[in-house]
Amino acid sequence: MECRDTERLIDAYLDRELPAETASKLEAHLSACQPCRRQYGSLVGFLTKPEPIAVPAGLAERIAAAIESPEALTADRDVRLFEAGVSENGRHARHALNAAGLAREDDSAKAHVPGWHGQARRPKAGGFARGADRAALHRWLPWAVAAAACLAFFLIGWFSSRVSQKPEQQIAVNSDTSSAPDAPEPIIVSPLVLASWAQAVAMGGPAIPLVPVVQAAATEAAVAASFERPLLPSPRQPTSREVPPPVMELPQELLIIPHVSRALGV
Amino acid sequence: MASQEPKPSDAELVRAVRAGDREAYGRLADRYLASVYAAAIRITCNAAAAEDVAQDTFLRAYQRLDLYDMKHPFRNWLLKIATNLALNQLRSRRRERLLHERVAADEMRNGHSPVAEAAPPSRSQWQQWLGQLDESQRAAIVLFHFHEMPYAEIAQVLEMPLNTVRTLLHRGRRRLREIMGSPPMLENGSWNVAIQNG
Ligand SMILES: [Zn+2]
């Protein structure tokens, strides 16, 4: 064997692909030839006779403790074993999963291994509960936001109507003349507007927040314009003795509906 | 490593664990802890990270023992889990380091002198060598040379074609030879190189 054979064969040797006989010839050359040893000696030595590595004291005990910990019991395996009537551990695991509402969740490895993300040194208790909270949050958050938005828009409309509505747009509600000036004013925000706002929110919010604002304003303007035409007998200025004709006998809550029906010309 | 407990085979112990015997798992863990820890520290080049990886490996293997295919050596299955965890560790450490660097750069720009980073733990020669390879080269070299894992299984762990694994090994070895031939690295430079950008 010569030096150029070393160069030619060294990769195959390190790949453990050389026939035993060739390999031992190469080894013999490497130990005898100074230039080849200088070239490849430390690499071959490092890869074929690695420095032993000592396991740190206490690591085995920590692993044993992790396996014995309640978190380890929440393994799918224990649950399945329990269901197969094999493992008593599974009963606890099933309880833990049920408690966290995860018993029928997808069994992705990450969701089931506490402290899995590589930063936590120890498995953390409560990983399952947190996962369940997050899942529930994802499920209900859009609905909660949509409902809250509906309520908020309704209240905004109601308050603004109390502040800004002109007297001639009022609809006579009460047949009682004396109490007419104090009667609560009707609500001007129409369900159309509320619906479009709620839809925008439920669909994850509009790309341009101004769009639903403009839409809502346009709809409101249309509704308001419809009141300019007196569809109802215009409320006369009631005298103290005169009783105006009862126009509607609707409860206050339903007043938003006639607004719309009139706007639509129904 | 496997010579301490010659009596029951891995397969027998695995079957016992599957039947609900936790102690059998303890024996399996004793048998392979040294291998798993060695692979973890060689890939992460960091003792604390390697302990985390080893602990997570055994916990995860216990919880997912149903997925283990008895046709393959149990040790290789553990090493696959450990390698994936070690590579994840490196990635999250790299993200942390990038964040740290960005903060330090901002502070420099704002005229603050950067807070001196804690000195990296002193590293042995092999850590300095392996630390200069990129992550997948290092993983391939560690699994192939120090744990005798076959190409096909390394390809599975690293999720790359067999030929790519072969190329990784050859390039990694060439790089190692260059590193070994060059003068020893500065102590403070070695840590940063260990967590490569590639
Ligand atoms: Zn020679």
Quick one: B108 and B180 in the same domain?
no
Q: Which residues of A touch B170 (CB under 8 A)?
A: 11
Question: The tokens of A165 are what?
Answer: 């509505």
Domain boundary residue, one of B66, B82, B113 = B113
- Higher pLDDT among residues A85 and B165, named by residue: B165
Quick one: B80 and B149 in the same domain?
no
For the cut 70, the answer to whether the pLDDT of residue B120 exceeds it is no
Distance between CA atoms of residues A120 and B130, nearest Å: 25
In a domain, B176, yes or no: yes
Quick one: B167 and B142 in the same domain?
yes
Quick one: B109 and B131 in the same domain?
no
Residue A145 touches partner B, C-beta closer than 8 Å: no
- What is the interface pTM, i.e. ipTM, of the complex? 0.78
Report the domain count for chain B: 2
Q: Write out the residue range of the structural domain in which residue B168 sits.
A: 120-198
Distance between CA atoms of residues B147 and B40, nearest Å: 11
Q: Which of B45, B51, B59, B170 to mutate to test the interface with A (most CBs of A within 10 A)?
A: B59
Burial track B42-55 (b if 16+ CB lie within 10 A, e otherwise): bbbbbeebbbbbbb
In a domain, B88, yes or no: yes
Q: Decide: A190 and A226 in contact? Cβ < 8 Å.
A: no
Quick one: B56 and B89 in the same domain?
yes
Residue corresponding to tokens 């929440």: A74
Three-state SS sequence of chain A: CCHHHHHHHHHHHHCCCCCHHHHHHHHHHHHHCHHHHHHHHHHHHHHHCCCCCCCCCCHHHHHHHHHHCHHHHCCHHHHHHHHCCCCCHHHHHHHHHHHCCCCCCCCCHHHHCCCCCCCCCCCCCCHHHHHHHHHHHHHHHHHHHHHHHHHHHHHHHHHHHHHHCCHHHCCCCCCCHHHHHHCCCCCCCCHHHHHHHHHHHHCCCCCCCHHHHHHHHHHHHHHHHHHHCCCCCCCCCCCCCCCCCCCCCCCHHHHHHHHHHHHCCC
Which residues, numbered 117 to 176 in chain B, qualify as contacts with chain A under a Cβ-Cβ cut-off of 8 Å?
Answer: 124, 126, 129, 141, 145-146, 166, 169-170, 173, 176
Residue of B25, B54, B146 with shortest CB distance to A59: B54
In a domain, B155, yes or no: yes
Distance A33 CA to ligand 1 centre (A): 5
Q: What confidence tens digit (pLDDT) does each residue in A42-77 have?
A: 999 999 988 889 999 999 999 999 888 766 655 555
Q: Which residues of A touch B132 (CB under 8 A)?
A: none
Which of A25-39, A144-158, B163-177 has the weakest average pLDDT?
A: A144-158
Q: What confidence tens digit (pLDDT) does each residue in B43-95 have?
A: 999 999 999 999 999 999 999 999 999 999 999 999 999 999 999 999 988 88
Domain boundary residue, one of B113, B131, B164 = B113
A100-104 average pLDDT score:
37
Quick one: B43 and B103 in the same domain?
yes
